[in-house]
A and B are shown apart, each in its own frame.
Chain A
Amino acid sequence: MKTSNRLMLACEGVMTKKVRTFMLGIGVSVGTAALIFLVSLIFGAKAYVDEKVGGIRENLLNVGIKPPPPHNPQPLDDSAYRQLLQIKGETGEVVDVYRELPIAPRPYIKVKNQPANNWLKVVSVDEGLYQNNPDNPIPDFKYRHVEPVDESEITFPEADETEATEEEKDTNFIPVIVPNVFVEALTSFAGDERKSLKQFFDILQGQEPFYVLVQGKGYRCKVVAVDNTVSSWSIAVPFRYGEEWNRHQGEQFPDYKWPNYDRFVVEATDIKHLDDIKEKIAAAGYQPQPTEAQEIGIAVSRGAMYLFLLAVTFCLVIALVSAIGIFNGLSISIMEQAPRIGILRSVGATRTDISSIYLFEAAIIGIVGGIIGLVAAHLLMWGSDIALKDFLSDVTNIRDIQTLFVWSLPEAFYIRTGAVGLGVITSLLAGVGPAYRASCLNPAVVLREG
């Protein structure tokens, strides 16, 4: 018998008991809606965290000496670098290998009291370094710290991207040392755009302005001098720029001596390759060290996983309950429709035909329920977004939430199809027993009773 004909008979069966089908479908709807809602919420939370700690570059791996100094003073040198490059060639899982260079020079920068647009975000401001440094490395240079400026003291003109004139430099610019602000800024700058090292040098040489955000306020800055006495921060630059960097440093600061590399940074094409790469690095005799970013990433993923499991458990319970409901409902309707089954058998339905028809009925219940659940989930998420956004902005200072859920492809698509699919599978599974029993009914007996 044609599948379409089986489906047609299943539809007929469903149409004779619309209300019951609908009620059975509601069980599936609740499960589907709950699953979509909860999983979208969890993925939404994860997306939010990812965005906030975004660019944490989980795919970076630090490579140090093994065992770490001082036990083994063997430096990381060019041969070590070439070994790492070999891993890149072998696996294809490595984007590039960077040398982590200590930034000896501390830049002094000028800050113009002017808001600007394309900020580099500065994570921390460390003002302690210079306050405690009694030896002013450049005695004739007057500088002072960026104090957290009182907003009332500053006049913020319109954002101005133009170069400051000489005149302006004297009046509007405050020469300051913002030690770690700068380095942080440039670290993230170089981190995100490693290839524009040229720009980085330009900034360092004071040829280009850059923008920092200090305690909520943006400053347009220019480097005016560099202090090479303090070495505490390091920056990863692509190895191929190493020579350039050395030359630059040498030209600028003839006294500056380049130390051995502290470590290398290996960038994996994907975090899933990290373990593999780690193994290879360890085999080569160096020590792969997880970065902070990876640890944060792992923590976030783990947290999300717990919530995900919780949601799945919850939905499985709903699935079980609705499966029992569907099992009951189908069993009852099969008993009620026994004469119909008898008739179908008498005109030529095989046992397989009968069980297929009832499995199709179960599938229809699942699909109807799933679609209702899908619509319900969307309404629920839409409503929650509106209600909770208002609520959160009323009671907290969180205002940047666009949505609590994940709506973007492909996650949203997978979540929705997955949930509806689960509903259909649940009702199909619940339908197996009744469908089998229907196929076992003796037509002679059920026709006699009808």
Chain B
Amino acid sequence: MAIISLKNVSKIYRTAAGEQLAALDNVNLEIEEGEFVAVVGESGSGKTTLLNMIGGLDQPTEGSVLVDSHDITSAGDRELSLFRNRSIGFIFQSFHLQPLQTALANVMVPLLFADASWPEARKKSETSLGLVGLADKVNQRANQLSAGQCQRVAIARAIINSPRILLADEPTGNLDVHTGTDIINLLKQINMEQKTTVLLVTHERDVASQAQRMITIKEGLIISDAAIKAEGDENKQ
């Protein structure tokens, strides 16, 4: 049973000129639990849109998105918010941290919406920061951290509620190659150890090649979907 299943999902935007633009065009996709999937494609091809649909951050114009057999496209705001809080972790290219807040405070935010008690939230956040290797930066402000450390904090925030799905939108886009590799390894580690399903959007081929499966999108259409051999070979399915 696929953990994520998109059925005939389309997302049509109306551009300023009044034309209709299909960011996603009748997409069908299934992702199994525990998979590490890379999503590649040109800029503007619809990668972010795809992630937003899966993460319940935006609604498709047509079609349905099923996560764990639940149709999240018909969920109300409260249900959808709870779903994002419990089942999804978002990671962004630009981290989206509160710069004046400490690493701990940033990581804790999702717990505020999960009604965790203060000591519990603190403990969980520290554990989470430990998992991403930032046990010693707990009380450092986000604006005093390096880019790589920032992304680690963002990952710690994403995984704090032990979500079943991690959606990472170009997490290495703002990082140098070396730091980027560290981040990808961290995501792989989370994927391995916690069986978290990871969707990774990236521009970089070698980043994508670290995944088990690579989906290529072009103008809202999935033009290829293939498993990747551990060595990096591609096989058409």
Chain A contact residues, CB within 8 Å of chain B: 1-2, 5, 8-9, 12, 15-16, 339-340, 342-353, 442-444, 447-448, 450
Contacts and interface: CB of A to CB of B under 8 A. Distances in A.
Interface of B: 48-49, 52, 55, 57-58, 77-78, 81-82, 84-86, 88, 90, 92, 94, 96, 98, 100-101, 105, 109-110, 112-115, 157
Contacts of B88: 346
B77 A351 contact: yes
Contact of A5 (B85, B96, B112): B112
B115 A1 contact: yes
A interface secondary structure, majority: helix
Given A346-B90, A347-B84, A347-B113, A12 B101 contact: yes
A187 B100 CA distance: 76
Given A346-B55, A346-B84, A443-B57, A12 B98 contact: yes
Looking at A2, A5, A8, A16, which has the most chain B CB atoms within 10 Å of its CB? A5
Given A9-B112, A348-B81, A442-B58, 10 more contacts: A5-B112, A343-B96, A345-B81, A346-B90, A347-B85, A347-B90, A348-B84, A349-B81, A353-B81, A450-B96
A435 to B, nearest CB: 15
B52 A444 contact: yes
A450 B98 CA distance: 12
Contacts of A444: 48-49, 52, 57-58
Nearest 10 Cβ contacts at the A-B interface: A348-B85, A444-B58, A348-B113, A347-B110, A5-B112, A350-B81, A444-B52, A346-B90, A444-B57, A343-B96
A346 B86 CA distance: 11
28 contacts: A1-B112, A1-B115, A2-B112, A5-B112, A5-B113, A5-B115, A8-B112, A12-B101, A16-B100, A340-B98, A343-B109, A345-B81, A345-B84, A346-B57, A347-B109, A347-B113, A349-B81, A349-B113, A350-B77, A350-B78, A350-B81, A352-B77, A353-B81, A353-B113, A443-B57, A443-B58, A447-B57, A450-B96
Contacts of A15: 100
A8 B112 CA distance: 9
Contacts of B100: 15-16
B115 A2 contact: yes
Nearest to A349: B113
B90 to A, nearest CB: 5
A342 B90 CA distance: 11
Contacts of A352: 77-78
A444 B51 CA distance: 10
Nearest to B114: A348
Contacts of A1: 112-113, 115
A345 B52 CA distance: 12
Nearest to B169: A447
B57 A450 contact: no
A3 B226 CA distance: 47
A74 B197 CA distance: 104
A442 B77 CA distance: 12
A355 to B, nearest CB: 11
B96 A342 contact: yes
Contacts of A343: 96, 109
Given A1-B113, A12-B101, A444-B57, A348 B96 contact: no
Nearest to A1: B113
Given A340-B98, A450-B96, A347 B157 contact: yes
B82 A348 contact: yes
B60 to A, nearest CB: 11
Contacts of B96: 339, 342-343, 447, 450
A345 B112 contact: no
A342 B114 CA distance: 17
Contacts of A350: 77-78, 81
Nearest to B113: A348
Nearest to A439: B77
Given A447-B92, A450-B96, A345 B114 contact: no
Contacts of B85: 347-348
A347 B156 CA distance: 12
Contacts of A450: 94, 96
Contacts of B48: 444, 448
Contacts of B52: 444
A444 B82 CA distance: 17
Given A1-B115, A12-B101, A348 B57 contact: no
A340 B142 CA distance: 14
Nearest to A346: B90
B154 to A, nearest CB: 10
B110 A348 contact: yes
Nearest to A353: B113
Contacts of A448: 48
B57 A345 contact: yes
Nearest to A350: B81
A342 B109 CA distance: 13
Contacts of B115: 1-2, 5
Nearest to B48: A448
Contacts of B109: 343-344, 347
Nearest to B79: A350
Contacts of A9: 112
B45 to A, nearest CB: 14
B44 to A, nearest CB: 12
Looking at A1, A342, A343, which has the most chain B CB atoms within 10 Å of its CB? A343
A350 to B, nearest CB: 4
Contacts of B94: 450
Nearest to B89: A347
B41 to A, nearest CB: 16
A347 B121 CA distance: 15
Nearest to B101: A12
Contacts of B55: 346
A14 to B, nearest CB: 12
Contacts of B113: 1, 5, 344, 347-349, 353
A278 to B, nearest CB: 60
A12 B105 CA distance: 10
Nearest to B51: A444
Contacts of B49: 444
B78 to A, nearest CB: 5
Contacts of A443: 57-58
